[in-house]
Amino acid sequence: MNKEKIIKKNLDLFDEFMKYAFDHPEILDEIPREANLVLLPEGDSPLEKANKKILSRLKAKGEETVAIRIRASKRKVAKVG
CA distances for 65 relative to 56, 68, 74, 78, angstroms: 10, 10, 26, 28
Residue 66 belongs to some domain of the structure: yes
Q: What are the percentages of helix, strand and coil residues in the chain, rounded to 5? A: 55, 15, 30
Q: Please name the residues in contact with 66: beta carbons below 8 A apart, sequence gap of 6 or more.
A: 30, 31, 32, 35, 36, 37, 38
Residue 70 or residue 77, greater confidence: 70
Overall domain count for the chain = 1
What global pTM score does this model have?
A: 0.81
Specify the amino acid at residue 52: K
In a domain, 54, yes or no: yes
Domain hosting residue 13, numbered range: 3-71
> What pLDDT, on the 0 to 100 scale, is given for residue 81?
44
Q: What is the mean pLDDT of residues 64-68?
A: 95
Residue 79 within a domain: no
The percent of residues in the chain predicted with pLDDT above 90, rounded, is: 83
